Amino acid sequence: MAHSDVYPDYFFHSWQIWPGAYGNPCNVEWYPKPENIRVKMTQDTPIAIMGSCFGRAVKETLIADGYSVITEEGERSAAKHASAAWERVYTTFCMRQIFTYSFDDWNPDLRWWQAPQTGVIQDPYRRIVVYPNQETASADFAEHCRCSRRAIETARILILILEMTDIWEDMTDGAVISMPSGPYVAEGGDMTRYRFRVSRYHENLKNMEDILSIMARYNPDCHIILMVSPVHLWTTFRKDTDIISASCNAKATLRAMADDCASRCGRVVYFPALEIATTYRSICQQPVFVAGRENFHISPDNFHNVMKQFYHFYGSQ
Residue 219 has φ and ψ, to the nearest 5°, of -155, 65
For helices 201-218 and 243-264, angle between their N-to-C axes, nearest 10 degrees: 40
Can you give the pLDDT of all 317 residues of the chain as single tens digits? 555 566 656 778 888 888 888 777 788 889 988 887 889 999 999 999 999 999 999 999 999 999 999 999 988 999 999 999 999 999 999 999 999 999 998 999 999 999 999 999 999 999 999 999 999 999 999 999 999 999 999 999 999 999 999 999 999 999 999 999 999 999 999 999 999 999 999 999 999 999 999 999 999 999 999 999 999 999 999 999 999 999 999 999 999 999 999 999 999 999 999 999 999 998 888 888 988 888 889 999 999 999 999 999 998 65
Query: Which residues, 6+ apart, have CB-to-CB distance to 255 below 8 Å?
Result: 228, 274
pTM: 0.94
pLDDT score at 5: 61
CA atoms within 13 A on the CB side of 230: 27
- Model confidence pLDDT, tens digit, residues 198-233: 999 999 999 999 999 999 999 999 999 999 999 999
| Domain range annotation of the chain | 42-314
For CA atoms 260, 244, 174, 90, the dihedral sign is negative
Q: At what angle do helices 92-103 and 201-218 cross, to 10 degrees?
A: 30
Cβ distance 35 to 48 under 8 Å?
no
Give the other-Cβ count within 10 Å of 155's Cβ. 25
Instruction: Tell the CATH topology of 42-314.
Output: Rossmann fold (3.40.50)
Cα separation, 260 vs 139, whole angstroms: 39
Nearest to 226 by CA among 185, 246, 255: 255
What SS3 string covers 237-305?
Answer: CCCCCCHHHHHHHHHHHHHHHHHHHHHHCCCEEECCHHHHHHHHHHHCCCCCECCCCCCCCECHHHHHH
| Overall residue count recorded for the chain in this entry | 317
- State the DSSP H helix or E strand holding residue 142, giving kind and residue range, or none if neither: helix 134-154
Exposed, middle or buried by CB within 10 Å (0-12, 13-18, 19+), for 86? Answer: buried
pLDDT of amino acid 8 = 58
